[in-house]
A and B are shown apart, each in its own frame.
Chain A
């Protein structure tokens, strides 16, 4: 028989691929994120760093004139206030967006996993302390707390990232804790202990592997939302200084140019449309990808 020669991993992979093929939205999500990954990787080719500039994330400017200029062959997407090149900003901003999304989600995951796992597995007083801690963070409106953190640390991209990590982990901690509570009661956990596994081994090899899926889906759905929050903070002027390749910051630059004048109300459309479209598509892509992950990973949905 041919079926026997295939290892379970290959079989699983094939199954996942057929699953993805069946849902056009998953393909769209993967395509969008793939497109952005390509942009981020090819940024130095797509938007050449001007000679003599050592930081590629600083937008090149052609002059000091304050009125934005419409798209032209030199500036594909036009220029923003003070003649910052929008095309360059959108391309290099992709890298910034990935950086924010991935670092923040990774940070959230690490803190959330640690707190949720310890609380869920050991229970009792440890759980009580950790969960009351998460409740405290949870009690504040997220964006407001993040703003407060950034204000204290001083406006910059790094403080936005740190603030979003400090604000975002409680939801992860709660989900992972409840999942661990569920898995911990399964017989195979007891069986693993009866075989002589240490607590660490039981947690990593038997509990987490069965409890991690909701978190993976959450993380991919969250990546988009986090980029949106970071853009919001940047827009409020808490992000990097003007001229940094960051989508939120670029929309903030175009704040004064939404309306031109009575004859030509949308005359400055390019200043906010391009960065806006980039943010919109990026977030959409992550959400679709999150749905795809759910379809692939959720055993209750998949085998139908």
Chain B
């Protein structure tokens, strides 16, 4: 039976369960998460540390680190006329989707850059993997332009290069090309491709508003400042115009000024590239700033989904209410949520929030609540609301 997806929706996560099998026992990190992401929208995924936000986003690119296992569920990606279930694809297809259709920005920009490669090499890797054809085409165009002007010897070399690049476009994995690329001197034909990639990377960095991109492309990660590194990481993620960008707390490690710049940048880029963003964060201020809709997570469940305005004006789930009340405000008494985040190795029965909830009822400890749509597009998972 083919699962379907509506044309306006980009990603549909249905009933996802992820467990981590540790020595201490099974950790039920994701317990039936459903999320819907529309084309071109920014969905904020909020929650406390350890509630499963990052695992959710890693599940979407099917890279849950071991010992984590995706137990069941469907992750449907809209691929034009049909829906692709990401959890049922083989590795090769997934490799093509990662980076091209779905890409990810990691939390720690320094950690996400390999210390031994320059910026060009790292950003270029994505280009080389997913946009090789386009790059080759540009090289060929340059060659077409150069050939008539060259003298005999050069013309011969250019013609050889042209043949190689034509082959590279049609059959990038042919063994003869692989051998050629290993022979010294002859493999210098790759210089043209490398130049083209470098140009494109400079262009990307310019879009990221990095000052002096010509110089930055040849830098190693340790030479970059935190904000620059984060921009490079975002450039890497956006290099192939992904339809979905998973941003896993991309501004957490930055100071507020840089954070504001990056947020502005992400918003602009979203408009320009028409991507959708899943923005994982625990910072409600950031959510208010850039998200269209918000999903609140608690202990592996999505407890409330609504548009940003509603979440802040009319929070309905007790957890959301408590979370918003816990934002420190000057002149008001600071309220924190009592108790602490449950260890997911032995989660509370029934509603996972009931031990901390101020409105808990007897049923809360026994029955897991169903998701209720209290208004259009406003979903709450709580016994207070009837379906």
Q: Which residues of A contact B (CB under 8 A)?
A: 4, 8, 123-124, 186-188, 190-198, 205-206, 209-210
Chain A contacts for B66, CB-based, 8 A: 123-124
B239's closest neighbor in chain A, by CB?
A195
Asked whether, in the complex, the Cβ of B116 is within 8 Å of the Cβ of A187, the reply is: no
Chain A contacts for B118, CB-based, 8 A: 8
A107 to B106, CA, bound (A): 39
Chain A contacts for B111, CB-based, 8 A: 186-188
Q: Which residues of B contact A (CB under 8 A)?
A: 61, 63, 65-66, 91, 95-100, 103-104, 106-108, 111-116, 118, 125-126, 129-130, 215, 218, 220, 233, 236
The answer to whether A196 and B99 touch (CB under 8 A), given A190-B63, A191-B104, is yes
Asked whether, in the complex, the Cβ of B116 is within 8 Å of the Cβ of A210, the reply is: yes
* Pairs across A and B, CB under 8 Å, 28 listed: A4-B215, A8-B218, A8-B220, A124-B66, A186-B111, A186-B114, A187-B108, A187-B111, A188-B112, A188-B115, A190-B65, A190-B112, A191-B112, A193-B63, A193-B98, A194-B98, A195-B99, A195-B103, A195-B125, A196-B96, A196-B98, A196-B100, A196-B129, A196-B130, A197-B129, A206-B114, A210-B114, A210-B116
B101's closest neighbor in chain A, by CB?
A196
Asked whether, in the complex, the Cβ of B115 is within 8 Å of the Cβ of A210, the reply is: yes
Asked whether, in the complex, the Cβ of B99 is within 8 Å of the Cβ of A188, the reply is: no
Asked whether, in the complex, the Cβ of A187 is within 8 Å of the Cβ of B106, the reply is: yes
Asked whether, in the complex, the Cβ of A194 is within 8 Å of the Cβ of B63, the reply is: yes
A198 to B90, CA, bound (A): 12
Asked whether, in the complex, the Cβ of A194 is within 8 Å of the Cβ of B104, the reply is: yes
Q: Least Cβ distance of B314 to chain A in Å?
A: 36
Chain B contacts for A210, CB-based, 8 A: 114-116
Chain A contacts for B98, CB-based, 8 A: 193-196
A191 to B58, CA, bound (A): 11
A189's closest neighbor in chain B, by CB?
B114
Chain A contacts for B95, CB-based, 8 A: 196-198
Asked whether, in the complex, the Cβ of A191 is within 8 Å of the Cβ of B106, the reply is: yes
Query: Which of A191, A192, A193, A198 is most buried by chain B, counting CB atoms within 10 A of its CB?
Result: A191
The answer to whether A197 and B112 touch (CB under 8 A), given A8-B118, A190-B63, is no
Asked whether, in the complex, the Cβ of B130 is within 8 Å of the Cβ of A191, the reply is: no
A196's closest neighbor in chain B, by CB?
B99
A187 to B236, CA, bound (A): 14
Chain A contacts for B115, CB-based, 8 A: 188, 210
- Using A187-B106, A195-B126, A196-B97 as known contacts, list a sample of 16 further A-B pairs with CB atoms less than 8 Å apart, ordered by residue number in A: A123-B66, A124-B66, A186-B114, A187-B107, A188-B112, A188-B115, A190-B112, A191-B233, A192-B125, A194-B104, A195-B236, A196-B95, A196-B100, A196-B130, A197-B95, A198-B91
